Amino acid sequence: MAAVKACNILITGANRGLGLEFVKQLLKDSSQKQHIFATCRDPDGPKSEVLRELTKKHPNVITIIRLDADDPCSIKESAKKVGSLLGKCGLNLLVNNAAKMANGNIQTSSVEDMKNTFNTNVIGPLLIIKEYLPYLQAAAKASGIPGMSSNKAAVINISSLGGSMTRMPPMYIQFPELPYCISKAGFNMLTVLAAEEFKADEILCMALHPGWVKTEMGGEKAPLESKESVEGMLRVIGSLTEKQHGGFLDYTGETIPW
Ligand code: NDP
């Protein structure tokens, strides 16, 4: 059961995988006040069909917004559109979930894979945070509650063990995903530095590892189903306070070393 009570929520990469599961589970527990901005890069394409169907059933709760993390113009336009719909309460919860995977080691990783993963997994979220920051600040101000929480104003960066300097090296030979891991390490640094910048505004910012999950990215061998991972992540997100600000947790709430 989702413990997240944020009013206005935005999720990137919401058309499939963990992003879509976030939307489904938030819907189950949605109050009349809650609104979900489900963003994806191709709202009219075949990969967004399930999200479109879900939106037809819940038109007052979900709005689909086009957002391509690789395209700064689309990020700007999405923020304008969402801003026009938000009203004074602002944006309470931004989930940076969209990401790209690329395999390879030092011998085999291409320049293209390095650039593409860095674009989607680091520069994209950086620009998304930048464009949506005024709405997060508005939410933090409007809440009138002291301290930090995901119901007030928060940025949740869906990261990976792959970005942990401590936890990835022992797994690297089995999972040679060098471009992806380096991009997620960059994403982790973005999380820590954004957390520093957001302290004064009381906007919570942290990184969350979903576990190894059966999605297109995680593959068939993954031990976790999306349902279990997202249930866990929503429980963690709902329980966050300033203690976890600038931190790195997994879907069970355990702290991961950087
Ligand atoms: P999937 O590959 O199943 O889904 C990825 C999502 O990201 C899709 O919605 C995809 O959209 C979207 N996306 C990719 N590139 C862009 C872009 N340029 N702009 C906008 N959206 C984009 O991955 P998961 O659902 O498994 O992963 C979700 C998050 O969890 C990621 O951040 C991933 O790194 C992280 N993670 C996942 C693990 C796992 O085991 N599954 C393990 C550790 C971390 P489209 O349909 O258009 O391609």
Lowest mean pLDDT among 30-39, 148-157, 163-172: 30-39
Q: What is the pLDDT of residue 32?
A: 66
**Mean pLDDT (whole number) for 121-130:** 98
How far, in Å, is the centroid of ligand 1 from the Cα of 186?
Answer: 16
Q: Where residue 148 falls among pLDDT bands split at 50, 70, 90?
A: very high
Q: Pairing mode, if any, of strands 93-96 and 154-158? A: parallel
How far, in Å, is the centroid of ligand 1 from the Cα of 158?
Answer: 9
By most ligand atoms within 8 Å of CB, the mutation choice from 10, 78, 97, 181 for ligand 1 is 97
Q: Is residue 100 scored above 80 in pLDDT?
A: yes
Q: What is the pLDDT of residue 92?
A: 97
pTM for the full model? 0.98
Q: Where residue 3 falls among pLDDT bands split at 50, 70, 90?
A: confident
β-sheet bridge partners, residue 104:
177
Q: Is residue 88 scored above 90 in pLDDT?
A: no
How far, in Å, is the centroid of ligand 1 from the Cα of 89?
Answer: 28
How far, in Å, is the centroid of ligand 1 from the Cα of 18?
Answer: 7
Average pLDDT, the chain: 96
CATH number of 8-250: 3.40.50.720
Q: What is the pLDDT of residue 54?
A: 98
Q: Can you tell me the distance from the alpha carbon of 163 to that of 130, in angstroms, rounded to the nearest whole number?
A: 22
How far, in Å, is the centroid of ligand 1 from the Cα of 148?
Answer: 27
pLDDT tens-digit profile of 182-207? 999 999 999 999 999 999 999 999 99
Q: Is residue 2 scored above 50 in pLDDT?
A: no
How far, in Å, is the centroid of ligand 1 from the Cα of 16?
Answer: 8
Q: Which atom of ligand 1 is nearest to 41's Cα?
A: 20
Q: Can you tell me the distance from the alpha carbon of 225 to that of 90, in angstroms, rounded to the nearest whole number?
A: 32
**Mean pLDDT (whole number) for 117-145:** 97
Name which of 48, 50, 49, 3 is nearest 28 in CA terms: 3
pLDDT tens-digit profile of 204-222? 999 999 999 999 999 999 9
Residue nearest to atom 34 of ligand 1 (CA): 99
Residue nearest to atom 31 of ligand 1 (CA): 99
Q: What is the pLDDT of residue 1?
A: 45
Q: What is the pLDDT of residue 87?
A: 83
- Strand order across the 35-40 sheet: 62-66, 35-40, 8-11, 93-96, 154-158, 204-209, 248-250
Q: Which atom of ligand 1 is nearest to 48's Cα?
A: 46
Helices marked H in 63-177: 72-86, 111-118, 124-143
Pick the more confident residue, 2 or 161. Answer: 161
**Mean pLDDT (whole number) for 244-249:** 98
Q: Taking CB atoms and a 6 Å cutoff, what residues make up the pocket around ligand 1?
A: 12-13, 15-19, 40-42, 47, 68-70, 97-100, 120, 158, 160, 209-210, 212-213, 215-218, 222
How far, in Å, is the centroid of ligand 1 from the Cα of 23?
Answer: 14
